[in-house]
Amino acid sequence: MDKQRAFADYLHSRGLAFTSERQAILEQILAGGRHFQADELYLRLLGNKTLPVSRATVYRTLNLLVDSGLVRKVAFVDRHSHYEHLFGHHHLTCRNCGRIVEFNDPDISRALEKICRKNRFQSISRKVEVIGLCAKCRRSSDK
């Protein structure tokens, strides 16, 4: 499903409008990197002189995106809140050191789409996370 349509539907179901500011925030998230901080997103949007977006609007919209399931709030080792969009990327997470390797596999994406179709399930977002030990931590535990 189109990410903008999914977010607009979510907002509508809660009696909220899909404003041009919210659209700009979503577009910036999709155009940027996987992980970002709210203030980084705000600074990227600050350059848009035709559609100024306030810091408060960025934070409120991020909360709505998290509630909708399209974005996830992640606490990293540096204890700052980061966000990531959940559009077709997956994680390998080391349970020992916390290292995260992001990957995208079209075969996994196709399999998930097939499972959704088979079960007549409409996917809004998806996330695959494999938890285990990275090579460095495995070598340390073998000693």
**Sheet arrangement for strand 129-132:** 100-103, 90-94, 129-132
pLDDT digits (tens, 9 = 90+) for 29-50: 888 766 788 998 998 888 777 7
Residue with tokens 């996330």: 127
Whether the per-residue pLDDT at 1 is higher than 50: the answer is no
pLDDT digits (tens, 9 = 90+) for 68-95: 888 888 765 556 678 877 766 677 888 8
pLDDT at 13: 92
What domains can be seen in the chain, in order of their start residue? Answer: 1-87 (1.10.10.10), 88-143 (3.30.1490.190)
Tokens standing for 3? 């990410």
pLDDT at 57: 94
pLDDT digits (tens, 9 = 90+) for 93-142: 888 888 878 777 778 878 888 998 999 987 766 778 888 999 999 888 77
Whether the per-residue pLDDT at 58 is higher than 80: the answer is yes
* pTM exceeds cut of 0.95: no
What are the residue ranges of helices labelled H in the chain? Answer: 3-13, 20-31, 38-46, 55-68, 106-118, 135-142
- Amino acid in position 72: R
CB 28 within 8 A of CB 41: yes
Taking the C-alpha atoms of residue 43 and residue 23, their distance in angstroms, rounded to an integer, is 16
CB 89 within 8 A of CB 102: yes
**Sheet arrangement for strand 71-75:** 35-36, 81-85, 71-75
